[in-house]
Amino acid sequence: MKEIGYALSGCTQDFLSLVVVETEKVKVNNYYFIKHPITGQNVLVRVYQIRPYNPEMITGRTGPLAGKKGRAAKYGKRLEYQVAFAEILGFYDEEHRWRGLEVAPSPWDVIYEPDESELKEFFIPTEYSVEAHHLEIGKVRGTKIPIYIDLNTVAKGHIFVAGMTRSGKSSFVINLVAKASSLKPKPRFIILDRRGEYGALTKYGAKVEPYTRFRPPIEDGEVIAEMLGVSRDEKKIVVNAVNDLAEEGKLITKSTLRGKMHSVAPSIIRNDERRESVLEFLDGILDRKGKFLEEQSVPANVVDAVLKAHILVIDFSVDADLRSQQMTAGEIIGKIVNYAMERKNIGDFAAMVAIEEAQYLAPERTGMFQFEAGKPTGALVEGISQAGGYNVGFIVMTQRPAYVSKSVISQCNTVACFRLKSGNDQDAIMDYTEYGSETLRAYLPGLADHEAMLWGMAIPTPFPVIAEIKVTEYPKKAAVFAKQAWEKMEPH
């Protein structure tokens, strides 16, 4: 190992500051070693910040005075030095148990740069659990050391995937699913595809279905009355008609609802003239606003679809009906979780449910994303709280962690965080995941595309690691650039 620096005073058990040897260089996000002050074992540290210092350039010294005259104070260059700041991650003891450093490094302790073979020992566990189902997803940043994720753990404990738009989170999930299709046994995935980006997975055996195939019929009279925009006696007629149809086991459509409204109206409005007026009004409302009832049908069984295809992509991009989409997503999640709970003693069902833009299904606060009537958005919050124990894991994706329910984030015991620059989003990650270090603020804004900081139960390393994600498949975006679209829109 090469000596590249020396510890300064003021270090703690988890913080190291070092002066860099003049002929050497250190890099942000790179790993280095210090020796354990007592046992002499290698302790892993990671640099998160580097600062140059030159006492000649302090205000009042000769450097600034020379600069005022337009001359560089090159005579002061020999006084310049670099200080690096690192977090002390930990070490493996004699029995290969991971431990944090118990004592602070002392001034003048040597910092070493390991070669890849020495570094590899910290990333490749000597023993794997027989229950693990490992999948290589990339390399440790700047090395050829592979990084794995344990899908068995994801199915038991969920993974939270966050990152700015185009930072690589969707590509991460697409490639994870694609590569997993080569494992034996093949994991099962259900992908709630909000933007129609996962079509490339068909080459790996995915079945793509429009979400409308699984859309449940609306059988709540209050919800239907709200969607039709009626109140008072008109609402009573609608609610009673819907309840009667539900009790009779009949599908609620425009035709069946119209007929039933006419049969229940006499019990609500005694006056013939007024009743006829109200029914005429309701018929008109049904014609204008009842299109959603025309599309009602018996939904396909999502569990059957999962059992037939190891990758089921449910395409929510076929329309822009957010209310219907939320309701269907809630129904799908509920049916998958309930089926898993029913099979718990048999042990023949496990799946992972990937959810794009989770802020629409589990928002932190009610508001623009929330559909109150029927509260289908509660399905994700409820499902994630109980599904892990029944081998249904959630892959929860978002570009705005601050907008996602914190009860959802906190129950994901693995995190893949891509580039994040918003302070609120960084706060959500630091406050509600197990790795709450302030050093995240140093790492996350500077991550390149398809680079992620990974930590948690499904990552074999007992410390957060920055990985370069291997990408072979990309999300399906717009077919052309905006400029090309504008050219086509030009008058000829």
pTM listed for this prediction: 0.84
| pLDDT score of 368 | 39
Cβ atoms 407, 401 nearer than 8 A: no
| pLDDT score of 480 | 60
Overall average pLDDT of the 358-369 stretch: 69
Q: What whole-number distance in Å separates Cα of residue 111 and Cα of residue 86?
A: 11
Comparing 147-156, 164-173, 289-298, 405-414, which segment has the lowest mean pLDDT? 289-298
Please state which architecture CATH assigns to domain 134-212+302-469: 3-Layer(aba) Sandwich (3.40)
Q: What whole-number distance in Å separates Cα of residue 296 and Cα of residue 294?
A: 6
- The dihedrals phi and psi of 124, each to the nearest 5 degrees, come to -110, 105
Whether a cis peptide bond, with omega within 30° of 0, leads into 475 is no
Percentage with pLDDT > 90 across the chain: 55
Overall average pLDDT of the 445-462 stretch: 92
Please check the confidence at residue 371 and state whether its pLDDT lies above 80: no
- Per-residue burial over 124-135, b = 16 or more CB atoms within 10 Å of its CB, e = otherwise: ebeeeeeebbbb
Quick one: which of 316, 330, 124 has its CA closest to 218?
330
Residue 383 in tokens: 């499902």
Q: What whole-number distance in Å separates Cα of residue 278 and Cα of residue 262?
A: 10
| pLDDT score of 376 | 46
Percentage with pLDDT > 70 across the chain: 94
Ordered by start, the domain boundaries in the chain are 2-120, 134-212+302-469, 221-294
Cβ atoms 1, 69 nearer than 8 A: no
Comparing 68-72, 125-129, 305-309, which segment has the lowest mean pLDDT? 125-129
Comparing 318-322, 395-399, 482-486, which segment has the lowest mean pLDDT? 482-486
Residue 28 in tokens: 């942000």
Q: Give the angle 396-397-402 at the CA atoms, nearest 5°.
A: 100
Please check the confidence at residue 262 and state whether its pLDDT lies above 70: yes
Locate all alpha helices (DSSP H) within 192-321, ordered by sequence: 221-228, 232-247, 254-268, 272-289, 291-294, 302-308
Residue 307 in tokens: 């059992």
What confidence tens digit (pLDDT) does each residue in 376-426 have?
A: 456 778 888 877 788 999 999 999 999 998 888 998 999 999 999 998 999
| pLDDT score of 325 | 87
What confidence tens digit (pLDDT) does each residue in 186-238 have?
A: 999 999 999 899 999 999 999 999 998 998 888 888 888 988 999 889 999 99
Residue 260 in tokens: 């039933």
Q: What whole-number distance in Å separates Cα of residue 71 and Cα of residue 255?
A: 88
| pLDDT score of 414 | 94
What confidence tens digit (pLDDT) does each residue in 77-95 have?
A: 788 899 999 999 999 988 8
Confidence of residue 484 (pLDDT cuts 50, 70, 90): confident
Q: What whole-number distance in Å separates Cα of residue 153 and Cα of residue 458?
A: 5
Please check the confidence at residue 482 and state whether its pLDDT lies above 90: no
Q: How many CB atoms lie within 10 A of CB 188?
A: 21
Q: What whole-number distance in Å separates Cα of residue 162 and Cα of residue 421?
A: 11
| pLDDT score of 129 | 57
Locate all alpha helices (DSSP H) within 269-301, ordered by sequence: 272-289, 291-294
| pLDDT score of 374 | 39
Confidence of residue 490 (pLDDT cuts 50, 70, 90): confident
Quick one: which of 387, 352, 381, 326 has its CA closest to 150?
352
Cβ atoms 141, 376 nearer than 8 A: no
Average pLDDT, the chain: 88
DSSP code of residue 462: S
| pLDDT score of 396 | 95
Q: What whole-number distance in Å separates Cα of residue 237 and Cα of residue 277?
A: 13
Please check the confidence at residue 370 and state whether its pLDDT lies above 60: no
Q: Give the angle 406-192-358 at the CA atoms, nearest 5°.
A: 20
Number of helical H runs and strand E runs in the chain: 16, 18
